[in-house]
Chains A and B, each alone.
Chain A
């Protein structure tokens, strides 16, 4: 057991040191590289390590076998970036006759606005925020131009439309990228307020004026809301989302007036609690520079003492990937508790139980474990 505990500590230290001080990677032993690659793959930050080493001109100074893994991650990321940028290009083409603001969210926004988190980050879907009253029109236009509504089971469709903050994803018939269209940042059912009007008012236009991104403080708050309220029971909290927040804070933190506006803005949007946890743990795990008076200002937003102590323990456990050979029961429990908490904040209790039991049933049938083997074209025995 002592070995397992020390191995877990080693995995955690390797990952956090690599993220905070990538320049020290050139001194890593092969054994440490081996574990770091496994842990970083699980946290999906291989691409981030690659880009940090590339920027420092150090890719030639690491073991070639490690460099090959990082190269593979870089290639996948480059491909996903192309797909996301192109999907936005085609969306813009399809929707140019519609005079509605299209706010790009999350990875799509970082990429198109050329913000630091876009470097070395994996991109999945295109996320858009549009005014709720324009959704039908936008959906119809996209369907007329070759997109289709992805097939989801009737439970999920109803769940999306009735309770959620987005509609079921759309996909172009020839391309694989999904488009998630949101009309608010959180479900209508959420315990946290989430009136989207102030977001639209503050959004900033990109070169194509119809395309916009959230204002800096809003973007960071959204990243935090996403981090703490969209967990996954297996993966826990996504460390890469906290890294997005870290990058954005380092970037926008340089702008005059940014820090003074952050906490008041969180109060306007009702996101004080996620900001409290986010700043605290970004600073604790990643060394994000946060001015002391901002933390002081947020003290009043902290939960009651026992909850605060518990969350301080659970959040890092749920954020870090753990050791591949020495899984920890504590971490598994932490991930699950954080997931239930996220759902609790998103839905009223009756609905939560219905939703969780439906998901558990799907899981029992093995749906969540399904791997698309046809695409791999390998012959399964």
Chain B
């Protein structure tokens, strides 16, 4: 990994993000350990309660991320094959209309249709985070120089070998950017899981608003934001490693 090849913006984010997250998290932990909290706050912000909510949040994000990548990348590959090309305009149109749908509406509608709970939240968030991965998979694969593919075919590679050893590695950085965007969206939308009884750190925000306890509200908001920043940073690091050595 050669950090010298990175732009100043990338370096700022790569080193600045974890520093900010660590400092703010340490500050919150210090406050939590030393603050003189009332009964309600102390119960809502008990260490193991917060840990449990954070775990639920991360679990929702991870399950959705696996589902999104598992569905969107194969669909993107399919759409870029010559024989399935006729499908592409319809999928693009549907995806663009879907982009205008507010995430909170998608979650509430699905919950009303199929009931509350963890898997409803997973379904709604998967639908929501699908588009960036699909769009970037298609864009990444389309961006591979046709001459390179032709050269690979000329060397005697089968279409599947071309896909696996040429197209996918070259498209990987673009796909990873889509995955990072999706992960960050998932962390943010995961805060709404609490509305449909699926837990997560959003519970603290909701409790804080309902009980009118600013300390709970701000703790929840802060922790969700920190998780999002941490995920963004992880995504950026993964992107660096995903770039094939020959392209860096």
A associates with B: no
Interface residues, chain A, with chain B CB atoms under 8 Å away: none
